[in-house]
Amino acid sequence: MATIDAIDTWIVDVPTIRPHVLSMTSISRQSMVIVRVRCADGVSGLGEGTTIGGLAYGDESPESIKLTIDTYFAPLLVGADSAMPAALMTRLRQNVVGNHFAKNAVETALFDCVARRAGVPLSDLLGGRQHDRLPVLWTLASGDTAKDIAEAEAMIAARRHNVFKLKIGKRPLADDVAHAGAIKRALGAGASVRVDVNQAWDEQTARKGARMLGDAGIDLIEQPLPRADRAGMARLAASAPIAIMADEALRGTHDAFDLAAIRAGDAFSIKAAQAGGLIAAAKVAAIAEAAHIGLYGGTMLEGSVGTAAAAHLCSTFATLAWGTELFGPLLQTEEILATPLEYTDFALTVPKGPGLGIELDEDKVRHFRRDAPQRTVVMLNQAAR
């Protein structure tokens, strides 16, 4: 029996290449919880827990993810058989309420262990991949129209991205529409432009915004209403001239079922972290497919570990009508993998090696770990200012 010997967790803070502006916060670094499950047979697996802007976005933060895993998960898992991830996740769900991001990180590490031990890609454990490459969009989130246009044009020229998402909702509606419309006009018919409101609008604003954005050539609006307003999302999806996507409203299979039942969206953003794990996210995707709702591979701006896991999951879906946004590692100034993920020709290549198919650059991880002596001193000085 390959028992679990230890579970290690580290918060790793990596700067971003530019500020990433959302309707509720702005981030200039991404804080990731890297999880390593170590087993008695020498096999170890990796997982990641990452949020966008900490508690400004949702009810988990890097600090709470690490605390939950160290204090509550580890005692339930150490000494157990690592070859039984489903049973171990059931044990966690029976003993710990919520904490989906933490559960996803640990489940990913457990599956990584099993797949590495078997010598197969993680996607094989999820039913087998149907795609080796996944289309990936880029988020334009500076808020400056000229900068965003220049950034998008550079991405197209480099054949890295030709689909773009704009973060809007902080400014008046007319300003946001003017911003989105200007970018769409500049990029032309060869590029798709979408917007993400991150729950910032009320229903009246969303109805007006959908009409105006549709006239501007925008293809989709992501989560325009608060996550609890399911009825409003259904009314909006029924009347809007462009597609409406559910994101923050999807926190697992129960949400997915309820939203699908009233058609509260034309697309579902599939995020393993929000769903509570890879298996839960696969079930959310199955509910969407059964309801003829388009799939989209969403991101919490995960680094390379979480992005690799999401890529394995998304590769198993028959269709991804709206593509993916698995660009998180590209937003960071430094790579923490020994061999970076491959982004070429507007797509991400799904790793083919055993497990996640990745290895950490241990020196980089040590450099960016929050508990590294030099990092701790810097952060304490910043907090004191």
| Tokens, residue 258 | 């309820």
Q: Report the run of H or E that residue 157 belongs to, with start and end.
A: helix 145-157
Burial of 374 from C-beta contacts in 10 A (0-12 / 13-18 / 19+): exposed
Q: Which amino acid is at 257?
A: F
Q: Which amino acid is at 70?
A: D
CA 215 to CA 306: how far, in whole Å? 36
CA 103 to CA 324: how far, in whole Å? 22
CA 201 to CA 225: how far, in whole Å? 5
CA 75 to CA 286: how far, in whole Å? 33
Select from 12, 10, 7 the least CA-distant residue to 329: 12
Query: Active site residue: 103, 167, 184, 271, which one?
Result: 167
CA 384 to CA 291: how far, in whole Å? 52
What lies within 8 Å, CB to CB, of 319 at 6+ separation is: 294, 295
| Tokens, residue 112 | 């990584």
What lies within 8 Å, CB to CB, of 196 at 6+ separation is: 139, 165, 166, 167, 168, 221, 222, 223, 247
Q: Is 165 a catalytic residue?
A: no
CA 74 to CA 189: how far, in whole Å? 51
CA 309 to CA 302: how far, in whole Å? 10
What lies within 8 Å, CB to CB, of 268 at 6+ separation is: 245, 246, 250, 256, 259, 284, 285, 288, 293, 294, 295, 296
Catalytic residues: 167
